[in-house]
Amino acid sequence: MNLSQVKLLIELNRNQFNLSAASDALHIVQSAGTRQLKLLEEELNLALFERKGKRLTGFTETGLKILQQAEKMLLAQDNIYAIALDFHQPQSAHLKIACTHTQAKYFLPKKLVAFKRSHPKVKVHIEQGTPKQLVDWVKQGQVDLAISTEALDDCEQLTKIDCYSWHHVLVVPNHHHLIDGPLNLAAIADYPILTYMAGMTGQGKILQVFKDEGLTLEVDLYATDSDVIKDYVRLGFGVGIIAEMAIDSKLDKDLTVIDLTPWLSACTTKVGFLSNRYLPSFVHDFIELVTNPS
Amino acid sequence: MNLSQVKLLIELNRNQFNLSAASDALHIVQSAGTRQLKLLEEELNLALFERKGKRLTGFTETGLKILQQAEKMLLAQDNIYAIALDFHQPQSAHLKIACTHTQAKYFLPKKLVAFKRSHPKVKVHIEQGTPKQLVDWVKQGQVDLAISTEALDDCEQLTKIDCYSWHHVLVVPNHHHLIDGPLNLAAIADYPILTYMAGMTGQGKILQVFKDEGLTLEVDLYATDSDVIKDYVRLGFGVGIIAEMAIDSKLDKDLTVIDLTPWLSACTTKVGFLSNRYLPSFVHDFIELVTNPS
DNA sequence: GGATTTTACGCATTTCGTAAGTATT
DNA sequence: AATACTTACGAAATGCGTAAAATCC
């Protein structure tokens, strides 16, 4: 067996079993690709691919198992190069974080200040997206880690560590009627609701709680962004349900914040990363930072 | 990079950084080994080994990190060959189990009967040893899995799944004084105790419970084997504390079994294996069998 | 007919082994 | 002196590219 043969398997998988395309990806002529595949199948003495005449149509059952191991081999190889790179230019290192808007704006800043203090030369990238996107980016190795309340748990491959727990709060304009009357879910449901998009920042949990009470929420605005929600609350569109850390006690004096802990259970924000992938020490340092309270 | 270079790293680690020995292990002449190491270090542009003049004395810090990835690469490669082998001769397959005496004699039999029924052609090996040995054997790949109550949890690399929970029982000859009087730990501690060796079958838990009560146990016989303990109980050496599943209601009619659940908490027997290592489907079937209540 | 895979042949590169030389214990 | 590593050189093996043939859609 050969590393180029292993790479060929990966590329065949990426290119819908097209030998020509896979060979191109490896910068060899197509006939060389055919030959290497043939050699590998001969060495293992089994068919890695289903064939329709000469064309490859997919992996065999055994081929699929072998592909999985092939991916592990190449990941480890990539890690070796990453380690070497890390050795040569620790200074020009890049920390790539994927997270949602709420984390980027309200959780990360103080963490990154601390991180920059201990690692002044590391460049930081913050990629924003939906929780599902974050997970994809981590899986594909585009980013080092993802910080999110959602979607991380759905992915088996990711190692997850808790960062912190928090609650949702209700935000209304000052002097809103809800402030005076007795508070309960039914009272809230009387107003148009502004909150997060599906799959973001614990939104599913919010809707579920109202549904369990037999209440239908009239959600008038779905946003990815806590600030957008707050602004439309200011404009009188309705009442907002957002994450508690999205409240800025100085800037949000025109809003009244109402505790929802009696009704909504806590959410836990986590950091997720691929434990198989080599991560430079500064990435581990950063994970340590975000998973330890303040 | 090259698979033979990767193998060379592994062999250098196994052979105390002796290039000649490592080269021998790879069936190449020593000069070829030197050359490959040089090529690899040149490609990565870093020193993998500490050197004293020409001699290699150990891995550098970076070299050690790379060694770990190299081991992952070769493990995945071995897995590919294992998958191919599994494909060609599923019939001549061998299931290698490591466990303690108690598991081999009192837990495995009914499981293996069921396993043999569904996989008649698989040959079964049962390797007995102390819990620590079992863990080593699994880590080194000498066996497919270990079944034990102890030591598995100490090993990070192993994947552990619970098999079943059980309690310790007190065994005494019929008509023993302990049967009539009020039972408590102090009463038991009045007699010489026969039980397992340190590190076996929940022994640590037993001693601890007595110690917590301020009692010192007079252990007159430590054994690895429940049957040995029972026999010496029969001979009047003292009272035995053994695992409940080691009682055979038919063969042990001359012994009285006394429940210890009020004092000793439950033990959990687990199966441990390397999740990185490829295990043929019949091994997974067996794990399923032992982790599901019969 | 265009795209894809297989096979054959010659050339370039890689890697090995032999052998001689250098350093370490 | 024995062991361990490096370097030089020719030989063997591996792997590539070109080109032509076969097959699929």
The 3 state secondary structure assigned to B124-174 is EEEEECCHHHHHHHHHHCCCCEEEECCCHHHCCCEEEEEEEEECEEEEEEC
| Terminal-residue alpha carbon distance, chain A | 50
CA atoms within 13 A on the CB side of B195: 25
**Cross-chain Cβ contact A66/B83 below 8 Å:** yes
Average pLDDT, rounded, for chain B: 90
pLDDT digits (tens, 9 = 90+) for A67-116: 999 999 999 999 999 999 889 887 668 999 999 999 999 999 999 999 99
Distance from CA of A83 to the nearest CA of B (A): 7
Q: Which nucleotide is nearest to A22 (CA to C1')?
A: C4
Q: Which of B51-60, B161-170, B206-215 has the lowest mean pLDDT?
A: B206-215
Mean per-residue pLDDT over chain A, rounded: 90
The whole-number pLDDT of residue B210 equals 85
Ranges A16-30, A201-215, B238-252: which has the least confidence:
A201-215
Of B123, B140, B210, the residue nearest B168 (C-alpha): B210
Nearest CB partner across the interface for A84, out of B46, B83, B278:
B46
For residue B89, give the DSSP letter: -
Distances (CA, A) of A31 to A24, A208, B3, B200, B251: 11, 57, 23, 60, 71
Nearest CA-CA distance, residue B60 and chain A, Å: 11
What pLDDT is recorded for position B77?
94
Which segments of chain B does DSSP mark as H helices, in order?
Answer: 3-14, 19-25, 30-44, 61-88, 101-102, 108-118, 131-140, 177-180, 185-189, 203-212, 226-234, 281-291
Predicted local distance difference test score (pLDDT) of residue A109: 94
Contacts of B177 (CB under 8 A, 6+ apart): none
From A73, which residue of chain B is nearest by alpha-carbon distance?
Answer: B73
> So what's the pLDDT on residue A44?
93
Q: What letter does residue A271 receive in the DSSP assignment?
A: E
The domain spans of chain A are 3-86, 90-164+268-290, 168-265
pLDDT > 90: what percent of chain A?
A: 63
State both tokens at B55.
């001699």
CB A237 within 8 A of CB A221: yes
Q: Which nucleotides of D are covered by protein (CB under 7 A)?
A: 4-8, 14-20, 22-25
Q: Report the share of chain B in percent with pLDDT over 90.
A: 62
Judge: B69–A44 Cβ closer than 8 Å, yes or no: no
Model confidence at B181: pLDDT above 80: no
Q: Which residues of A touch B1 (CB under 8 A)?
A: 3, 77, 80-81
Residue nearest to nucleotide D8 (CA to C1'): B31
Q: Is the CB of A2 under 7 A from strand C?
A: no
Note whether A3-86 and A90-164+268-290 share their fold: no
Supply angle C-alpha A77, A83, A84, rounded to 5.
Answer: 95
Handedness of CA B221, B227, B232, B238 (dihedral sign): positive
Cβ atoms of residues A179 and A185 within 8 Å: no
**Whole-number pLDDT of residue A30:** 94
Instruction: Return the pLDDT at B93.
Output: 85
Nucleotide nearest to A32 (CA to C1'): D16
CA of B21 to C1' of D5 (A): 12
**pLDDT(B4) > 70:** yes
Q: At what angle do helices A3-14 and A30-44 cross, to 10 degrees?
A: 110
CA of A23 to C1' of D16 (A): 12
**Per-residue pLDDT at B95:** 93
Report the 3 state secondary structure along A235-247: CCCCEEEEEHHHC
**Range with the poorest average pLDDT among A84-98, A244-258, A275-289, B43-57:** A84-98
Which residues in chain A have Cβ-Cβ distances shorter than 8 Å to B65? 83, 278
Q: Inter-chain contact B66–A83, Cβ cutoff 8 Å?
A: yes
Identify all chain A residues contacting B156, using CB atoms and an 8 Å cutoff: none
The two most distant CA atoms of chain A are separated, in Å, by 79
Residue A265: predicted pLDDT: 87
Q: For strand C, is any atom closer than 7 Å to the CB of A273?
A: no
Higher pLDDT, A271 or B209: A271
Number of separate helices (H) and strands (E) present in chain A: 12, 12
Bridge partners of B265, per DSSP, are: none
Q: What is the mean pLDDT of residues B177-183?
A: 82
CATH T-level assignment (fold) for domain A3-86: Arc Repressor Mutant, subunit A (1.10.10)
Give B-chain residues touching A276 at CB under 8 angstroms.
72
* Distance (Å, whole) CA B267 – CA B28: 51
Average pLDDT, stretch A233-247? 92
* Chain A residue numbers touching B88 (CB-CB < 8 A): 45-46
> Which residue carries 């069921």 as its tokens?
B114
Residues of A in contact with B3 (CB under 8 A): 1-3
* Residues on A contacting B at a C-beta cutoff of 8 Å: 1-3, 44-46, 62, 65-66, 69-70, 72-73, 75-77, 79-81, 83-84, 87-88, 276, 278
Ranking A139-143, B21-25, B139-143, B187-191 by mean pLDDT, the lowest is B187-191
Q: Show residues of chain B in contact with A45, CB under 8 Å.
A: 84, 88
B106: left (phi over 0), alpha (psi -120 to 50) or beta: alpha
pLDDT reading at A34 higher than 80: yes
How many A/B residue pairs have CB atoms within 8 Å?
Answer: 76
User: Options 3.40.190.10, 3.90.230.10, 3.30.1330.60, 3.50.50.60; which CATH number does B168-265 get?
Assistant: 3.40.190.10
At B91, the pLDDT band (50, 70, 90 cuts) reads: low
For residue A60, the chain B residue with the least C-alpha distance is: B87
CA A27 – CA A30 distance, rounded (Å): 9
Whether the Cβ atoms of residue A232 and residue A278 lie closer than 8 Å to each other: no
Nearest CA-CA partner of B106 in B247, B289, B272: B247
Q: If DSSP codes are grouped into helix, strand and coil, which group holds residue A94? A: strand
What's the pLDDT score for residue A134? Answer: 94
Nucleotides of C under 7 A from a protein CB: 3-8, 15-20, 22-25
**CA-to-CA dists, residue B91 to B87, B138, B144, angstroms:** 10, 23, 17
Single-letter amino acid, residue A175 = H
β-strand partners of B97: B126, B145
Q: How far is residue A214's CA from residue A211's CA, in Å, rounded to a whole number? A: 5
Instruction: Give the Cα separation of A73 and A81 in Å (integer).
Output: 13
Q: Closest approach of chain B CAs to the CA of A2, in angstroms? A: 7
- Please give the pLDDT value at position A91: 63
Rg (CA), chain B: 25
Confidence at residue B154, expressed as pLDDT on a 0 to 100 scale:
87
Query: Are B158 and B152 within 8 A, CB to CB?
Result: yes
CA distance B167 to chain A (A): 34
Contact B110, B159 (CB under 8 A): no
* C-beta of residue A289 within 8 angstroms of C-beta of residue A115: yes
A244: which DSSP letter? G
SS3 content of chain A, % helix, strand, coil (to 5): 45, 25, 30
**Is-contact A203 A196, C-beta < 8 A?**
yes
| Cβ-contact B49, B59 below 8 angstroms | yes
Q: Which residues of B touch A (CB under 8 A)?
A: 1-3, 44-46, 62, 65-66, 69-70, 72-73, 75-77, 79-81, 83-84, 87-88, 276, 278
Strand partners, A169: A242, A259
The CATH fold of domain A90-164+268-290: D-Maltodextrin-Binding Protein; domain 2 (3.40.190)
